[in-house]
Amino acid sequence: MEESAKRKARRSGSRLKERAVFEFENALDEYMSHLRIERGASPRTAEAYRHDLEGYLAFLDSRDVDSPDRVTREVIVAYEGSLAEEGLAATTVRRRISAVRGYHKFLVREGLAAGNPAEAVDAPRAAERLPDVLSIEEVGRMLDAYIDERPSGLRDRAILEVLYGCGLRASEICGLNLDNLYLDDGFLRVFGKGSKERIVPIAGAAERALRTYLAEGRPTLARGASLGNGADAQAAVFLNQRGGRLGRQSVFNLVRKAGRAINRYDLHPHTLRHSFATHMLKGGADLRVLQEILGHADMSTLQVYTHLDRTHLHEEYAHAHPRDKM
């Protein structure tokens, strides 16, 4: 009789745990919908959050923490410690703790938890790392070396010129549509993170390369379109060899290939964006204008570029000031 009662208790406990885990997973699905619909997160960003939070929920399950109100500050500190033990970078740990904090905030808002235990947890400070930046001379050599008159070559040259000439992200390049181009007026309509719209000036080499591609390269690539590509491909500025919208990985591969001309084998599209910002600042651009062009919501995000420019100022001072040589 006693053994039977124990078995019933175990089964009951197992069912309760399964229900709690199910509720946790349901809440995660609801949080993903919240990120996409209410916060305007891109599918890629939402998927990154899901990946981080699934790891967090697996950690809670390993600790038999089966409901939001059983999560304490100590539990989250232990989770943070487990991430550090995995050898993850401080920036990665900070991102994951930030995801946990946002998730618990959502649970409180939805009435699924009484409080947010992650608010009291300090994520590790990330060491300040200045972004990788090309010199103006390196950018010139890289672009001068990229000569390919085929339709795909004209496309690639236009992408490189626009990445550097306008400071766009790879995803923004891929997302450009023909009706986002106002070349006669000298600007692009760009949709950045969270589908936020901004106006970006375009001129000079970037505008010329884009016009050449549109006139001589894109029509040939568009003829390769299959019936399955549909309206999205017809709207896209940059097309692949099959006439479909070009993907981000193709842009990454292109930039990496272009970097070989200047012995930069790890070149990333964001390096061209950082280079654009740094060179604009060195040329005297106003920080507020740069903020608008780059699509940064917070001015503090640009602080890293002012650090880079201070290095340039110090170099100029050392080169020009007569007392510095004494």
Q: In what order do the strands lie in the sheet with 197-201?
A: 181-182, 187-191, 197-201
Token readout for 25 is: 């997973």
Beta-carbon contacts of residue 50 (< 8 Å; ≥ 6 apart): 28, 32
Is 105 one of the catalytic residues? no
Residue 45 main-chain phi, psi, to 5 deg = -65, -45
User: Do residues 162 and 202 touch, judged by C-beta distance below 8 A?
Assistant: yes
User: Do residues 229 and 177 touch, judged by C-beta distance below 8 A?
Assistant: no
**Amino acid found at 263:** N
Is 273 one of the catalytic residues? yes
Q: What Rg value do the Cα atoms of the chain yield, rounded?
A: 25
**Amino acid found at 272:** L
Cα 253 from chain centroid (whole Å)? 17
Is 193 one of the catalytic residues? yes
Residue 237's nearest CA partner among 292, 201, 189 is 189
CB atoms within 10 A of CB 80: 20
Which helix (H) or strand (E) is 199 found in, with range? strand 197-201
- Beta strand 187-191 with 197-201 is antiparallel
Catalytic residue among 305, 314, 317, 319: 305
Catalytic residue among 94, 157, 273, 274: 273
Catalytic residue among 17, 141, 198, 270: 270
Q: How far is CA 167 from CA 23, 82, 275, in A?
A: 43, 38, 8
Which residues in 277-291 are b (16+ Cβ under 10 Å) and which e? bbbbbeeeeeeeebb
CB atoms within 10 A of CB 144: 9
Is 310 one of the catalytic residues? no
Q: Helix axis angle, 287-294 relative to 269-282, nearest 10°?
A: 160
Catalytic residue among 34, 141, 268, 296: 296
Catalytic residue among 105, 193, 208, 211: 193
Catalytic residue among 169, 218, 245, 274: 169
> Hey, which residues are catalytic here?
169, 193, 270, 273, 296, 305
